[in-house]
Amino acid sequence: MPVGTVAIPTFAPGATVCQSAAVVPFTIEGSADDPDHIWGVGQSLHNRIDLRWPPGFYGRLEPTVAVLAPDGRVVAQAGVIVTDAGGGGGGDVVDICSIEGHTYL
């Protein structure tokens, strides 16, 4: 990971079946004090959504909280609503498999 970035929850290659289910619109928030570093916040209920990202994704907390793809491209950023995400998973964690028209598997 590049300097100034943090590890975020990711799923292992082949460990999830990417469903075509749409994920509710969300923004991201983050804190160095939280073990996950970055999480989602649902726009309708303003609830925390624990997210797992594809392998190789990482986070940045400064200057703006962001999730980055392995190539360094920002795929989610604090204050920007993600409206086009898909994934699945069970329980309390949502696996993000696609975001803004790009599938990462």
* Residues sharing a CB contact under 8 Å with residue 51, sequence separation 6 or more, in sequence order: 8, 9, 28, 38, 39, 40, 93, 94, 95, 96
Is 6 exposed, middle or buried (CB count within 10 Å of its CB: 0-12, 13-18, 19+)? middle
> What's the pTM?
0.90
Residues of the chain short of pLDDT 70, as ranges, are 15-20, 90-91
Supply the pLDDT for residue 5.
Answer: 93
Counted domains in the chain: 1
Instruction: Print the domain residue range for 9.
Output: 5-103
Specify the length of the chain in residues.
105
Supply the pLDDT for residue 15.
Answer: 67
Supply the pLDDT for residue 2.
Answer: 82
